[in-house]
Structure 1
Amino acid sequence: MSRSITQVEDDAAGPVEAWLEEIAKTSQQLVKMVREVLAEHGVRAHTALPRPHRILVTAVEFEGVRPAPDGQQQDAADVPFRFHWEPGPGVWCLASTGKNEAGKSSVLEIILWCLRGRAGLQRDVRSWLRRVRTEFVLDDEPFVVEMTVTGGIPTGSVVSKQTGAELVSFDGMKAFEESMDAFMLDRLGLEPLRTQQKPRGDVEALPVTGELSWPSYASGLYINRKGLGHLLGNESRNALPTRLLELFLGAPWAPTMVAASVAQKVVAAQLSAARQRAAADAQARRAQLGELTRQLETERARLEALPEQGQAAADLSAAYRTLTAATATAGEAQRALAAARLRHDTLEEQRHSLAQAVQTAQEAALAQAFFHTLMPTVCPRCDTKVSKEQWAREQEGHCSLCTSRLPEPTDHDHDAHGDEETETADDLRQALAGVQQEAEEAAGLLATAQAQALAAADTVTRAEAALQEALKDPGTSERRTVELAVARLEGAVAERTGRYDDLDAAVDITPLEVANTILKAAEKAAHARRTAALKHVLKDVEKDIVTMGRALGLEMLQRVELGTGATLTVWKGGQQHTYGSLTEGEQLRLKIVTTTALLRHGIRSGVGRHPGLLIVDSPGAEEVDSKDLRLMVQDLVKLTDMAPGLQVIIATARGEDVASLIPEGQLRLAPPGARLW
């Protein structure tokens, strides 16, 4: 379920909105809430189904070795075999003459194995295989499934013959089934069938949810003598026959109905479990509250029975008060100590920085005065002696080294420079003196704070000792213990009769109740739409079943009723019968004619989604006479004439009965007493 219910086609907006409005009205919820719940549980509207897809098998080839036939010498070599067949549209037949073990059913099972990924072959036959290749066309694109088989285990791939691209690769039974499942669901536009089942032996357990996927759908391609208790396919659990009926007829709203039904059953189970938990929790809370109340009454009676402590109780209360006050004072003293230490350390850092600045200013002034009095005699770069001519230039106002013009010295400049340096040093010394004084004051405050903190800590120690001394009185200790027990129990009782009291209303299950109501309404509304769409279709199918059934030897067949749940009720000989109460021969004929009628209608209407491949194994059961078998085959031939793209592959041991009915070139008949491969 990859899309939410809001992601539907534009042309379906009207029916979908009507469906949502009906759900909202039935469940008495807002449409917004309905949308949210359906999206959360993967339920979306399927008002119309995608176009049908077609599968056509075009070739099947396999080879291997099998043991020598029974009766030959034990050391006889294994017998190699190879089979190649190229069927096409229409009715194709694998037949033998009176020999049931001719390999016909194995060919059908190999075809099905390659198409669905799940093996139905007998284990011994699978162990004989070495190489298998099946070609098929799906919607005009040819594919080939090719695999090697070692010890019955397949390894291979699915390749598009159109592009040459490898689409699927697999190694092992499970990998092959999973790969074909994903490939076929995607190519055929099918969705997994959601299921739910109650675990056996545990009535309180939540249902196990799952999915029936392509191998289950593929049972609609196969009619054989097994599983005749079910109208369509070979599996009966999880409403599969109903789903296959919808597949044949292309029923709208059917996937929506199934998804809503499964989701509702899961939510209903969760709701039931939540209610049981809520009831159990409420009962446990009531039992716990009763026990706590009983304990509280016991402790109160015990407290009342204790003698009054008089002065001892007063001394204990005073000791508690003293300790509390001393602890508070000690806390304040520690905070004051921390503040005093921080201020003292900050001022010490400032004093140190200013002292360094004063020293630096003094040294700079002395260095400048010294260097200005120096008369260079050599160049500091190359050690060349300064000449008299250079000295003469300096007398003229030029530097004796670099010849730059020297500033004219004046008494005013010299005094100003000296005054500026003196002023800077004085400012620094003045600032240093101020910080020094503040640091000394802070040191005094720090010492006072340390003394106060020590005194407060000592007071706390003495108060704790006094309290411990007061608690040594046996009467005081017991009363205190009982008082604490009473206080604790009073709090526990108040909590459970207050904050937890509302839990008896089980407010936590409200979302589940809302979801259950909405999903019920959604399933009911989708079921009504799906049933309305199927009812008039099924009437036409029922007429075809009766007509073909009479032609196949069911002369007493009067009418049938094909239910929307894939149930078949039969009236013959003036009596009503269920499908399961009929003989095996009657079941087989009705199964074939019902499948044929469903296919015919789906093809005629253009909405049926059956992929157009029908495999029929052994329709000529012992209790079916030659005339009826011929009529069944004739009807299948007529069906393929009406739908040229339909392919029917039949396997029968009564080749002589059907040989004249199968179109030329479409019958593979084993020689009398021999195998097909």
Structure 2
Amino acid sequence: MNLNELIDLTYAYFKGKRTKHPLEKSFVIQVLEDADIDKLLNETSTNQKASRLIIRRVYFRGYKWQDDQKTSQNDQEIIQENQEIPFEYDRQLHTGINGWVADNSRGKSTILKIIVWALTGVEPNLKSDTLAWLQEVAIEIEIEDDGIYTIQFYVRPSKPTVDGRIVELPIDQIPKDSPDIDSIKEFTGAKSMTFAIASFFGQRFGFQETEWVESKRYDISLKQKNISWEIYSQAMFLGSDNYNDFLFPDNTNRSHHQKAVSAYLGLDLIACVSRLEKLYREASQEHQLEDRRIKTNATHVEAKIKQLQRDLQIIDQKIKDIDNNQAAIIDAEYVTLVQEQVAQLTDMHYNTHSGLNKFLIEERSFREEKNLARKQAQEMRESIQFKLYISGLDVERCPLCETNIPIEQGYLNLDDPECRVCHNPLQKSQDTTQQERFLKKAEENIKRLDRELKRVKRSINTTREKLTSVERQLSERKEEYQDLSRQQRAGFTTELRELLNKRGYISGQLEELDQLVPHNQEDYLRRLKQKSEVLNRAKIILQNHMAEYSKQALGHLQRKATELALAFRVKNVQEVFLNYKFDLFARQSGKPNIYSNMEMGEQLRMKIAFHLAFLELRVKNNIGRHPGVLIIDAPGGAEMTDEIFNAILSGISEIDAKYGDKVQILTASTRHELADAFPPENIEHMPNDEPLF
């Protein structure tokens, strides 16, 4: 697909939609041309190399610190001494299976991590003491139809922690202590090494650098992300730590793994899709931020416009007064008139303010009275419901001693009430007529107070509006009065010129602010939204094109992964598949189960199955861009049974037997079954707790 085809498909989508504001084709052309994706669209798989990588030799050296215990001459004191013991590791590798078998902490994982370090440019998670041992590393590789190279670097305890080079020579032909040989790449420091390795392998294997952006919750900023050989190459390595990688991550690096899977499948449009996705998210965020900004500023802009309009009215009135001979510079009696107006408005302001205070006091009084009436009504309701004596209610007299019971504040919620005068027992009253009469009276009083409160509120609102108007007029007249002496000093010509200048300045501000009013920003916001929609639609069109292209590749991949998962004893598996986001699923007992929810043992087996399926897809069907190297550390971990481990070894052996001359698998384990499963010349076996170096 080229740019013109993408433009036509994108425009056809919007042309078929009935909208109030139809999209012009020229706008679609402008947006997609500005996206700068023409070059990416033209970079198809036909001009991208899909080479094969072979690791030919592993060499590293350094000094170990070893504790040495000696006994003193009198045979009584043990002396602990640390010694630097030089070590050197050198092994020739070949195609097919290459294995290491040794006990724990004997150097298996270290060897694999050093290889990965050279291939990725990313420092591995080595133990600090082991890292301190290393001094020189050299990994000899062959890139099919390209040449033999050596990645050589030196490890240092201080910064820069690493420096080295990539040369087009095998290790044997690199002169000792000769830094003058021609280097393809040189690096000093960890970041420099990562960049040099990514640049070297990326252009030879056709792994393009891809950029995109990500957002975080509660954060309006977009974080720039990219993926290159640094990530792609790590996907070839299954580590022994937690079996997470960049192909099928466990709730992390999700965007990375989508790009990595796409690249391994040879979907060359992934870089273009990522570019469009990045631009779409940026355009969408710009539209949202501008929309919020305009809505947030609307209140301030409208208030500012009203203020400027009032100022303009004042200036127009002053100019009109000058024209009507009512200004101080023309009529001296006008000063007296303004003084009288200020005095009248001041008096009016005082009276209005006093009236407002009176209404506020009246409102407060009515509220207090209403609260008391509501309290009394509630007491009556409870008295009627529970038939209790309530203090504050006049119980006329004791039926025994005929003495009035005095009123007292608070509830008398008594189970066995008695007369407070004669102390004879009283029965709960069954007659609530008196309470009902009091309740009715209290409710009528509440309604009356509500009417009074509404009346007072209306008076308060009216008085406040009047007070605001009086304050504005008084402020204007005071400013005018204070400005009269300046006008008299300035004279007619100067005053009129200043008024006209102010009028022009305010009119200009009003024109600028009028452009910021929301209804005048509709075209601007609509264009921003249309831009994001065009980018999103173009991205979807390319994704659909990729999905159609990848159906065959995914079909082969999923069938082989399912076959291997069954062979590796993953329980109740009917199908292994990738969803549209390239997340790994297994249909178990009829239900889809995402990879991240599987137990660790199943995760390991599923991952090995998919990596082996990737290898077969590349070498058997010639689909994808897998370099043909797979590194598996501790495939027998995760509490794996002998039966399952032997099944995994059988799967690896099958790939080795069919495609051993086209792939390379490096693996290490503590389990001696690995040594029995493959020819001895393929396995470096260290029994009896011996170290590999």
* Structure 1 residues 216 and 276: CA distance shift in structure 2, 3 A: same
Instruction: Measure, in 1, the Cα distance between the counterparts of 2:301 and 2:193.
Output: 55
> In the alignment, which residue of structure 2 is the partner of 1:222?
237
Which whole-Å CA distance do the structure 2 matches of 1:265 and 1:45 have between them?
20
Question: Are 1:487 and 2:504 matched, yes or no?
Answer: no
Alignment match, 1:530: 546
Question: Could you tell me which of 59, 62, 66 is aligned with 2:60?
Answer: 62
Residue in structure 2 matched with residue 475 of structure 1 by the alignment: 488
CA distance, structure 1, for counterparts of residue 49 and residue 546 of structure 2: 18
Q: Which residue of 2 aligns with 1:157?
A: 165
Contact 1:299 1:485 in 2 (8 A): no
Q: Residue 271 of structure 1 contacts residue 509 of structure 1 at CA under 8 Å; is this kept in 2?
A: yes
In structure 1, what is the Cα distance between the partners aligned to 2:163 and 2:327? 94
Distance in 2 separating the partners of 1:492 and 1:282: 22
Change (3 A) 1:59 1:302: same
Listed one character per residue, the Cα deviations across residues 109-156 of structure 1 (whole Å, up to 9, x for unaligned) are 111111121111423322211111110011241001122222162222
Q: Which moved more, 1:281-290 or 1:644-653?
A: 281-290
Deviation at 1:567, TM superposition (A): 1.4
| In 1: Cα distance, 2:584 partner to 2:621 partner | 22
Give 2:89's aligned residue. 83
Q: Percent identity over the alignment?
A: 19
**Residue of structure 2 aligned with 1:130, choices 127, 135, 138:** 135
Query: What are the Cα deviations for residues 150-193 of structure 1, in whole angstroms up to 9, with x where unaligned?
Result: 21622221100289731011222222112112212122222112
> Deviation at 1:308?
4.0
Structure 2 vs 1, CA of residues 651 and 176 (structure 1 numbering), >3 Å: closer, same or farther? same
* Equivalent residue number for residue 253 of structure 1: 269
* Distance in 1, Cα, partners of 2:291 & 2:41: 31
1:45 lines up with 2:41 in the alignment: yes
Contact 2:209 2:271 in 1 (8 A): no
The one of 206, 220, 224 aligned to 1:209: 224
What SS does the aligned partner of 2:135 have? strand
Structure 2 Cα separation of the partners of residues 299 and 590 of structure 1:
81
- When normalised by structure 1's length, the TM-score is 0.68
Q: Quick one: distance in 2 between partners of 1:112 and 1:549?
A: 26
Output the CA distance in 1 between the equivalents of 2:591 and 2:320.
Answer: 88
**1:22 aligned onto 2:39:** no
Q: Which residue of 2 aligns with 1:384?
A: none
Following superposition, the deviation at residue 91 of structure 1 comes to 0.8
User: For residues 311 and 592 of structure 1, what CA distance do their matches in structure 2 show?
Assistant: 96
Where do residues 542-557 of structure 1 align in structure 2 (5 Å cutoff)?
A: 542-557=558-573
Structure with the bigger RCO (C-alpha within 8 Å, sep 6+) is 1
Q: Residues 231 and 568 of structure 1 are in contact (CA less than 8 Å); yes or no, is this contact kept in structure 2?
A: no
Which of 100, 105, 119 is matched with 1:101 structurally?
105
Equivalent residue letter for 1:196? V
Report the more deviating stretch, 498-507 or 521-530: 498-507
Cα 1:552/1:509, change in 2 over 3 Å: same
Task: Mark the CA change 1:673 to 1:71 in structure 2 (over 3 Å): closer, same or farther.
Answer: farther
Secondary structure, aligned partner of 1:558: strand
Deviation at 1:102, TM superposition (A): 1.1
Distance in 1 between residues matched to 2:97 and 2:64, nearest whole Å:
30
Contact kept? 1:231, 1:566, Cα under 8 Å:
no
State the partner residue of 1:321: none
Contact in 2 for aligned 1:46/1:254 (Cα 8 Å) = no
Name the CA shift for 1:130/1:665 in 2 (closer, same or farther; >3 Å): same
Counterpart Cα distance in 2 of 1:669 and 1:592: 22
Counterparts of 1:622 and 1:311 in 2: how far apart (Å)? 98
The residue matched to 1:67 in structure 2 has which SS?
strand
Report the CA distance between 1:612 and its aligned residue: 0.9
Distance 1:474 1:292 in 2: 22
What amino acid sits opposite 1:208 in the alignment? K
**Could you say what secondary structure the match of 1:564 adopts?**
coil
Where do 1:597-676 residues align within 5 Å?
Answer: 597-643=613-659, 644-654=661-671, 656-676=672-692
Q: CA 1:527–1:69 in 2, change beyond 3 Å: closer, same or farther?
A: farther
Matched, 1:567 2:567: no
Inter-CA distance 514–227: structure 2 relative to 1 (3 Å threshold): farther
The residue that corresponds to 1:586 in the other structure is 602
Q: Supply the distance in 2 between the matched residues of 1:154 and 1:481 (Cα, whole angstroms).
A: 77
Q: 1:582 and 1:169, CA in 2 relative to 1: closer, same or farther beyond 3 A?
A: same
**1:36-60 Cα deviation digits (max 9, x unpaired):** 4334323332674224111111011
CA distance, structure 1, for counterparts of residue 326 and residue 29 of structure 2: 70
CA displacement at 1:24 relative to structure 2: 2.0
Alignment match, 2:149: 143
- Say what the alpha-carbon RMSD is for the aligned residues: 3.2
Q: Distance in 2 between matches of 1:309 and 1:549?
A: 99
1:548 and 1:593 in contact (8 A); partners too: yes
Structure 1's 272 and 238: CA in aligned 2 closer, same or farther, altered over 3 A? Answer: farther
> Which residue of 2 is the match for residue 114 of structure 1?
118
| CA spacing shift, 1:572–1:473, aligned 2, 3 Å | closer
Residue pair 1:61, 1:134 contacting (<8 A) in 2 also: yes
Matched residue SS, 1:565: coil
The unaligned stretches of length 5 or more in structure 2 are 16-22, 71-78, 174-180, 333-483
Distance 1:312 1:493 in 2: 23
Cα offset, 1:83, TM superposition: 0.7
Deviation at 1:229, TM superposition (A): 5.8
Question: How far does the alpha carbon of each residue in 1:583-604 deviate from its partner, in whole angstroms, 9 at most, with x for none?
Answer: 1001100111012112212322
Whole-angstrom CA distance in 2 between matches of 1:473 and 1:258? 67
Task: For 1:55 and 1:213, locate their aligned partners in 2 and report how far apart those are by CA, in whole Å.
Answer: 17
Listed one character per residue, the Cα deviations across residues 212-245 of structure 1 (whole Å, up to 9, x for unaligned) are 2211111221112445466726683251222222
CA contact (8 A) 1:46 1:255 kept: no
Match of 1:193 in 2: 210
Per the TM alignment, residue 309 of structure 1 is displaced from its structure 2 partner at its CA by 6.8
Pairing 1:452-531 to 2, within 5 Å after superposition: 475=488, 477=490, 483=496, 486-498=499-511, 500-504=513-517, 505-506=520-521, 507-508=523-524, 512-531=528-547
Shift of 1:576: 3.9
Amino acid at match of 1:553: R
Query: Structure 2 CA distance, aligned partners of 1:585 and 1:537?
Result: 27
Query: 1:534·1:564 contact (CA, 8 Å) conserved in 2?
Result: no
What per-residue deviation string (whole Å, max 9, x for no partner) do you get for residues 232-260 of structure 1? 26683251222222223223533322221
How far did residue 480 of structure 1 move? 6.8
Inter-partner Cα distance in structure 1 for 2:168 and 2:328: 102
- Does structure 2 retain, via aligned residues, the 8 Å contact 1:250–1:602? no
TM-score normalized by the length of structure 2: 0.66
Amino acid paired to 2:200: F
- Further displaced range: 663-672 or 535-544: 535-544
Q: 1:607 to 1:65 in 2, by over 3 A?
A: same
The one-letter amino acid of 2:115's match is: I
Evaluate the alpha carbon distance shift between residue 486 and residue 296 of structure 1 in structure 2; reply closer, same or farther with a 3 A threshold. Answer: farther
Q: Given that residues 238 and 631 in structure 2 are in contact (C-alpha distance below 8 angstroms), is that contact kept between their aligned partners in structure 1?
A: yes
Pair 1:263 & 2:267 matched: no
Task: Report the counterpart of residue 168 of structure 1 in structure 2.
Answer: 185
Deviates more, 1:150-159 or 1:57-66: 150-159
Report SS of the residue matched to 2:41: coil
Q: Is the 8 A contact 1:222 1:615 kept in 2?
A: yes
What is the CA–CA distance in structure 2 between the aligned matches of 1:310 and 1:260, rounded to whole Å?
Answer: 66
1:378-422 residue CA offsets vs partner (Å, 9 max, x unmatched): xxxxxxxxxxxxxxxxxxxxxxxxxxxxxxxxxxxxxxxxxxxxx
**Quick one: distance in 2 between partners of 1:525 and 1:280?**
36
Q: Is the 8 A contact 1:144 1:160 kept in 2?
A: yes
Separation in structure 2 between the aligned mates of residue 80 and residue 558 of structure 1, nearest angstrom: 54
Distance 1:230 1:650, change over 3 A: closer
Whole-angstrom CA distance in 1 between matches of 2:487 and 2:56: 101
